[in-house]
Structures are given as C-alpha cells and as structure tokens.
Chain A
Amino acid sequence: MRTRCNTATDLVPMLNDAIISQVMNGFSIVAILLIVSLGLAIIFGVAGVINMAHGEFIMIGAYTAAVVQNFLGGNTFISIPVAFVVVAAVGVLVERTVIRFLYDRPLETLLATWGVGIVCQVLIKLIFGPELYYVGAPKVLDGAFQVIGNLPFSYYRLFLILVSIALLLITYILLYRTDFGLKVRAVRRNRSITGCLGIDTARVDLVIFAFGSGLAGIAGAIVAPIKTVSPTMGFPYAVDAFMVLILGGVGKLVGVFAGSVVIGESETVLSFIYNNVIGQMLVFITIVVLIRIWPRGLFGYQER
C-alpha cells in the first residue's frame, strides 16, 4: 500500500533525522489519505451511506489514468480531470440503479455496494486482463529537492500535498460558500423539512454521490504513478478511508483532515519503527481505544 521506508540509508544519520524524515514522508501519506477519504466522507456525511465500492472507484480512476497516459498520450495533469468525469459518471450510474433505493437502509447499502465493487473488479479484469499497469508521473515533476539537511523530498510528493490541499479547499468552498452547498448542508441537517421547502433532495444526493465518486477518481489518477495499477489495488485505500472517517468523525471537513493526519503520521512512524503490518495493527488498536472516548470520532457529533 505504501512503500516501506528504506532504512538502509537512514541508519547512519542520527535518530532525530530519521524520525523527522519519517514525519515528512508522513505528509505525503496524509495527503493521500486525505484525497482518498474526502469523497467517501462527503457521501457519508450527507447521505449516510458508506460506499464499499469506493476502493473500486479509486481503481477505476487509476485505470482511467493508465488509458489516458499509456494509450492516449496524456499525462497526469490531464488524467486527473478525466478520471474525475469518468468515475463521477460511474457514480451516477450506481446511484441511480442501486443506492437510490437504499438510502434508508445504510447496512444494506454497505452490502449492495460491496457487490458493485465486485462487479467493477470483474469488468475491469475482463477489459484489461489481470496484468499490472504502470503509469508514469509527469516528467516535469521528476526528481526531488533537498529539505532539512540532505533528506530528499520528491517533487511528486509535493504535488500530492498541493493537490490534497486544493481539493480540501474546493470542497470547502463548494459546501460552505455556494448556494448548492447550502442546500447540501440543509439536507444533511434535516432531510424531510428541506424536502418540504421545495429542495429536490434526490437531486442533491445524486450530485453529492457523483462528486464524491469523482473525487475517488482523482485519488486513483493521482496515486497511479506511485502504485501499480491492478484490479485489486483499491481495497486497502478504501479501508484506510473508512478508518479516517471513523477516527476523524463525520460532519465536518476538519474531521477528515484530523483523521488523515493522525492515521497517516502514526502509521508512517510506527511502520518505520516496527514494520508495515505491525504499524497498521497498532494504529487500528489505537483507533478502537480512541473511539471509546469519542464514539463518533474526534470531530463528530458527540453525545451530550
């Protein structure tokens, strides 16, 4: 899921350096988590549905990038918006055929979207075969720059971080500074009254689902260069996104940010100290314990 840090070259500098370097590595992990979770958070926050096919939507975004870049000669800057559109379209299809009928049954939506995810995987396998695809990063972002002493930080990672911040800002503006966003927040607060006020709640749901799916597509396009593209690449990202939501809480964007930061940094640092799998276990246990104190996440609506 994420590359294990190369301890061989870090052993020599002082431990401080290594920790700092890990924290900085963590920034890009946090950025990835943020991008990956944002779409899911919006859909869950507004409509209360968990899209278990979120991982597959990310995967479709990655495949879109593969097609755009490997077959159509584009690059990452192009594949990002294309992936947004493609996966948003898939989202619309799924929403209209499946999700629409299950809004009042969130657990059933979980199962149905899991089925959607399986179908997506099968279709992708049929179209593209089970081989792995490699998608390159744009040439202009090749290389790294020096940060704090002689620790390299790749330009692509910086790009990732910038994109994540941009997406967060765009989402914020959409939700809090537009007319549409006002409708969305009204629906989230009180669906039936909002419906009575003449706002088409079904349409709001559709747009939000499409937007969230599109974000997943962007996530796929943007992680494609750093991860091999395969039909099953999406699931671990989806689970990460779920954890971010559970820890960070739903309802406020700052929750997604906080969740990403906490999980991203702790996983990176712990994975460095122990190893990937143990790092994940520790993070999971920490989340379960933290949930005891904040059952609805750090920034969720808490019980009084």
Chain B
Amino acid sequence: MASILQVQELVCKVSGYTILNGLNLTLEEGEMRVVLGPNGAGKTTMIDMISGRYKPFSGKIIFGGKDITGYPSHKTSGMGIGRKFQVPNIYVSLTVYENVMICSEGYRSVFGSLFHRPSAKDEQNFVEILDLIGLADKAQDEAGTLSHGERQWLEIGMLVSSNPKLLLLDEPTTGMTVAGKAKTAELIKKIAKKHTLLVVEHDMHFIRQIASKITVLHQGRVIAEGAMHEVENDPKVKEIYLGKGAISNA
C-alpha cells in the first residue's frame, strides 16, 4: 500500500513559540490513524499545516506523491484533503440537505457551478449520506437549528459528500454526550472503510472504540507510535499523561 501522506520534519513557529518541532508522520492509504497528545502538543497546528490554513516554517508535506507544502486551503481541498474543524463549521442558514448537497464532489469553479443541476443519482447519494450521519429526518431543517452534536455529524457528512481521499478530523466528539460519542465512533468506522482518516482526539475511551494505530505528539514531535496497547504502556506516554497525576480522559 502506498503511503498517501508524508509529513517530514515539519516546523511551525508562531510569535516566537515553536509549536511543531520536527514532526514526522507517514500515513498509509486506507489507514485510520489517531493522533493523541496533551493540549499544546501541536495536533491542530499539524492539521492546519496539512490542510493549508497556514504555511509551515520549514519541512515538507507530501500528499499522494506530490509536494503540497504551503498550498492554500482551497487547493488542498481540491486535491482531496477534507478537514473537519474542532468547532463545527456548517452553513447555518442552509438546510441540512443543502449543506450536504453543496459539498458534493466537483463543480467547484464559478463557471462549472453556474449551470449545474444535481442528477437523480446525486440526490440519492445525498440521502444516503444523510442516513449515514443520522440526520435524514431533519433534511429540510435549517442547519442553524441543529444541536451541537448534530452539527458535528453534519460537518462530517459534508466532508463525506466531497469524497476526499484524506479526511482530517479535529476532535470530532468535542462537546458530545457519551451516547453521541458512541454514535460518532460507529460513523467513523463506517467512513474508514472507504477513506483514509486522520483523527485527532483526547478521549481515550472513544479512541478505544475506534481502535487503530495511534501516534502520540508532545511538544511538536512524535514521541510514540503503535497500536493501542503498545502506546498505553509506553513509559514516555505515561509520563506526559499520567506522570503528574493528569488524567487522559477528556
């Protein structure tokens, strides 16, 4: 399996602080990777760099064999990198259905979208996605009326609609109830069958439910990588999470 994403020696400095300090990460195609780390470890910044929100100070990001370091966000999205924000970012005045519809793959350019009308097959696809995220019965509701958890799912649905090769999920269960998190875990597992996923998370219990390879970040570098049980028992990880009595559950 080819590696779809390679992050090499990524460095990010902001206002004198070095947030990422030589980050290295390789993601295989079809993999689901969880990135873990205490606050300030650089998880969101790493996603910012990959998705093109900010430019790195130095280092390389290679996606699908192409060097995309410094590419702006609309370009990385066009190449198939979908990014979910920590705070759900949806279109509040559009309906749930429209939110999913508007993100469908293709027809991104001005002239491309001017004359486009979705086909019946497209519409069926949207309904399937709405089913997947559990919001089919709210399809005609204004997205602004959704609860926080529902908004998270909607955003995931929007990303799925855009059919990305790589999905970057930044703390997708923030603010959810335990039941909500369980549902999200199921959703993520279903998505993982067809897409490559990089999930940033805090909640160990949730991570256990989606169970996969884990990368642990600390102060801008990778300090441990491996399966759940390997990482759990890694002394370095234990030190940064539990060493001073800190608890890893969010």
Chain A contact residues, CB within 8 Å of chain B: 303-304
Query: What A residues does B54 contact at CB under 8 A?
Result: 303-304
Which chain B residues border A304 with CB–CB below 8 Å?
Answer: 14, 54-55
- Tell me the bound Cα distance from A304 to B55 in angstroms: 7
Nearest Cβ on chain B to A270's Cβ, whole angstroms: 36
Question: How far is it, in angstroms, between the C-alpha of A304 and the C-alpha of B14 when the chains are bound?
Answer: 8
Q: Which of B1-38 contact A (CB under 8 A)?
A: 14
What is the bound-complex CA distance between A304 and B54, given in angstroms?
A: 6
> Closest CB of chain B to A105's CB: distance in Å?
13
Q: How far is the CA of A119 from the CA of B187 in the complex (A)?
A: 56
The proximity string for B residues 55-77 relative to A, scoring 1 for CB distances below 8 Å and 0 otherwise, is 10000000000000000000000
* Cα of A303 to Cα of B55 in the assembled complex, Å: 9
State A304–B19 Cα separation when bound (angstroms): 13
Chain A residue nearest to B57 (CB atoms) is A304
B residues 38-89 near A (Cβ < 8 Å) are 54-55
Q: Closest Cβ of chain B: how far from A188's Cβ, in Å?
A: 16
Considering the chains assembled together, what is the distance between the CA atoms of A303 and B14 in angstroms? 11
| Chain A residues within 8 Å of B55, by CB | 304
Q: Which residues of B contact A303 (CB under 8 A)?
A: 54
B9 to chain A, nearest CB (A): 18
Please list 4 pairs of residues, one from A and one from B, whose beta carbons are closer than 8 Å in the complex, sorted by A's number: A303-B54, A304-B14, A304-B54, A304-B55
Cβ–Cβ < 8 Å partners of B14 in chain A? 304
Lowest 4 A-B CB distances belong to which pairs? Answer: A304-B54, A304-B14, A304-B55, A303-B54
**A109 → chain B, closest Cβ, in Å?**
20
- CB of A65 to closest CB in B, whole Å: 43
Q: How distant is A64 from chain B, measured CB to nearest CB, in Å?
A: 43
Kindly state the separation between the CA atoms of A303 and B54 in the bound complex, as whole angstroms.
8
How far, in whole Å, are A100 and B55 apart by their CA atoms in the complex?
37
Determine the distance from Cα of A304 to Cα of B57 in the docked complex, in whole angstroms: 9
- A304's nearest neighbour on chain B, judged by CB, is B54
**Whole-angstrom CA separation of A303 from B53 in the bound complex:** 9
Min Cβ gap A166→B in Å is 31
Q: In whole angstroms, how far apart are the Cα atoms of A303 and B70 in the complex?
A: 13
Complex CA distance for A207 and B55, rounded to whole angstroms: 38
> Closest Cβ of chain B: how far from A227's Cβ, in Å?
42
In the assembled complex, how far is the CB of residue B73 from the closest CB belonging to chain A, in whole angstroms?
Answer: 11
